[in-house]
Amino acid sequence: MLHISRFQALDFIQVSRHLRSVIVTATVIVACACTAPNTTMTLNKQQYIKKRAELITKHSIQDNTFSTLKAQVKTDDLTSSEYWTWRIDQYLYGQYPEFQPIYNAYTQGKTFQQIYNLPAENLEFETTVPKKLPSLPQGYFTDNLEGNPHRGDNFVFNNKVFITYQGHLTDPYVAIFDLQEHSWEGPYKAAESTLSKGGRKIDSHGRPIIEQDSKGHIHIVYGGHGGEREDGLNPLSIDTPHAGGRMLHVMSEKPNDITTFVQVNDISPFASYTKSYTMANGDIYLFTRAGTHKSPWVYYKMKGGEQHFQAPVIITWPTPQTSNPINVDTFYINPLKISDTEIAISYLWHECNFNEVHDKETYSRINAYYMKLDTTSDTFYNAQNEQLSLPITLTSANKQTLAFDSTLRDETPFSTVPLIMDTPALAYEARTKEYREWRMVALQNGEWQHSLPLPGTQKRTVRDLEDRDIKQVQRLESIDHDTAVVIYKNKQGHTVFATAKKISESQQEWKVNKTYLDLANTRIEMDSVKDNKANTLAVILNVKSGDAQRLYLWHDGQFFGNH
């Protein structure tokens, strides 16, 4: 069991700032990235090997992960030996921080290839640029987007929508839409990403988030999918940076201005995934995974009145399975602000492995869990309001936060989302070979009930313009008491975006009154633009047809394009 106290001694902000100075100057020296500040100790190779071996022997008494990883080495294969040496080093570096000064003292001044005799990363992915893109309707506000950039992120201030999204080659872009003047500012490229550069395949993990601090400056965090080899070893993980792409943080030079951004050196470049919320008191919480798959989830806090994130708080910790340490129990979490002072977190168990073999059918996603963060005290509680100790492991999660046990069911909870209800609840995407649908888990009379219909869907009917029942409603969201926006599949198999009117006071019967998009062979995804009172002011659509993909903003019954 790893205790949080092991990380309290680590001045991670200083380490992260040191890392970032390497990134800014484009220096490819591992020692700068992984050497602790003010380190004076140096070790030659023989001294290093001796101290490393002593630590592995010491911890192997209780930890059979070392022997398991060593057993993966292919005999008489130098590349295999070097590769698993690197993986063992990272496990030792993250799991047992006493190794960190030893490793740093030996690697100071050395490049990655000088530490490990491994071939350079293969960055020769060839992308074929199509000569002709499928046509999409007018009204979009972005260039064509490669990969899967989702719907970006947004907030509303002074009746203006500030939007960021993953644009060309995964760089973060930012724009402002004035809800009164119906005019655009931007888009501008806010910063550079390393995620899909140098021949890498386009990667959607670097999707940016956008927040505004109490002084009016705009913050964008973006681009992360595990860091780069040149960043050294990750002090907050047992997993190497094998995916690539640094997590970076930039802030606008001026309040409420999106034209120029400067780098802020306060987060780990190894992080992956982003989700953030601003609380009523101005505190900003950024949730992220601290590295690649077998990494803890953490949150960073920027206190109201400040413009830097504090050191990360570790929420979960990955644990190799005792009986078979090649497998690692870790999580995927999803936070949601449910009140001015609380953030709910739903999550699932992800059974990963050091061999990087991934189940493409279920992706080894199991169970559903629920907990919440009280931001007035930064304390975690389960649904029964019992205080939780950090970090959460699979053992403690199963004991205190398990909401749905899927292990005995032919059902994969592929993803989870907290729900805002009078009782603790979450939605999970149930997948089997026969169906794929969202269901709810809710705490009722002190007991978790699963496989429930989502609120507002059990008796809901939606009719099209010809007054026929729509069988495949993909998304419906109310934008006022009588009006909703809806995405559905029609009889021809086209994806439709439309508005609908409520035709009964039960709020369960709707009729489409206007169609805006009716597209064949097209995927449409939708996010709401809400004000600080949770009123829906607009929606952002991601419309994708083949290699053509654009973002649209719909407001007051029309699309407002910017091209």
* 541 has pLDDT over 90: yes
**Whether pLDDT at 5 is above 70:** no
Q: Which two tokens stand for residue 198?
A: 């140098």
Q: List active site positions.
A: 205, 273
Full-model pTM: 0.91
Say which range, 83-92, 199-208, 265-274, 403-412, has the weakest mean pLDDT.
199-208
pLDDT of residue 131: 76
**Residue 435 pLDDT level (bands cut at 50, 70, 90):** confident
Would you give the distance in Å from CA 173 to the centre of its chain? 18
Beta strand spans in 44-198 (E): 153-157, 160-166, 172-178, 183-189
Predicted confidence at residue 203, as pLDDT, reads 83
Residue 4 has pLDDT above 70, yes or no: no
Contacts of 458 (CB under 8 A, 6+ apart): none
Residue of higher predicted confidence among 40 and 92: 92
Condensed to tens digits (0 to 9), the pLDDT of residues 452-482 reads: 999 888 888 999 999 999 999 999 999 988 9
Q: Quickly list H helices, 372-421.
A: 394-400
Question: Region 522-533: what's the mean pLDDT?
Answer: 94
- pLDDT band, very low/low/confident/very high, at 383 (cuts 50, 70, 90): very high
| Angle, helices 45-60/100-107, rounded to nearest 10 degrees | 160
Interval 190-206 mean pLDDT: 85
How much is the mean pLDDT over the chain? 90
User: Can you read off the two tokens belonging to residue 340?
Assistant: 């001015």
pLDDT number for residue 432: 85
So what's the pLDDT on residue 489?
97
- Of the pLDDT bands very low, low, confident and very high (cuts 50, 70, 90), residue 15 is very low
pLDDT per residue over 86-106, tens digit each?
A: 999 999 999 999 999 999 999
As beta bridge partners, residue 501 has 483, 511
Q: Give residue 28's pLDDT.
A: 29
What pLDDT is recorded for position 507? 67
- What is the reported pLDDT for 146? 84
pLDDT computed for residue 124 by the predictor:
56
Cis, bond preceding 320 (omega within 30 deg of 0) = no
Peptide bond before residue 391 is cis, with ω within 30 degrees of 0: yes
Question: Once rounded to an integer, what is the mean pLDDT over residues 375-390?
Answer: 98
Task: Measure CA 511 to chain center.
Answer: 36
Alpha carbon separation from 51 to 67, 89, 233, 390 (Å, rounded): 17, 12, 17, 30
List the single range of 71-85, 108-122, 328-342, 393-407 with lowest mean pLDDT: 108-122
Q: How large is the average pLDDT for residues 420-445?
A: 93
DSSP state of 466: T
330 pLDDT higher than 70: yes
Residue 536, SS3? strand
Q: What pLDDT, on the 0 to 100 scale, is given for residue 242?
A: 72
User: Residue 32: pLDDT band by 50, 70, 90 thresholds?
Assistant: very low
Reported as a pLDDT band with limits 50, 70 and 90, residue 498 is very high
Q: Is the pLDDT of residue 3 over 60?
A: no
**Tokens 């398990």, residue located:** 402
* CA dist list (Å): 249 to 221, 284, 514: 4, 14, 41
What share of the chain has pLDDT > 70, as a percent? 91
Task: State which H helix or E strand residue 80 sits in.
Answer: helix 78-95
Per-residue pLDDT averaged across 167-171, rounded?
90
3-state class (DSSP) for residue 436? strand
**Residue 7: pLDDT above 60?**
no
Overall average pLDDT of the 21-25 stretch: 31
Q: By three-state DSSP, how is residue 367 classified?
A: strand
User: Residue 61: which pLDDT band, with cuts at 50, 70 and 90?
Assistant: very high
Place of tokens 């990363």: 121
Q: Judge whether residue 224 has pLDDT over 80.
A: yes
Longest dimension (CA), the chain: 80
Average the pLDDT over each of 78-92, 249-263, 328-342, 425-439 and give the range with the smallest value: 425-439
Q: Taking residues 170-196, what's their average pLDDT? A: 95
Distance of CA 166 to the CA centre of its chain: 13
pLDDT at 127: 58
What single letter denotes the amino acid at residue 125? F
- Per residue in 371-385, is it b (16+ CB within 10 Å) or e — as a string? bbbebeeeebbbbee
The pLDDT of residue 126 is 56
Backbone angles phi, psi at 52, to 5 degrees: -60, -45
pLDDT bracket for residue 141 (50, 70, 90): very high
Q: How far apart are CA 535 and CA 12, in angstroms?
A: 38
**What strands lie across the sheet with 523-530, from one edge to the other?**
523-530, 536-545, 548-555, 558-559
Cα 80 → chain centroid: 31
Q: What is the C-alpha to C-alpha distance for residues 263 and 250, in angstroms, rounded to an integer? A: 4
pLDDT at residue 13 in the model: 32
Say what the pLDDT of residue 409 is.
Answer: 87
Domains, the chain, ordered by start:
5-115 (no CATH), 139-314 (2.115.10.20), 321-455 (no CATH)
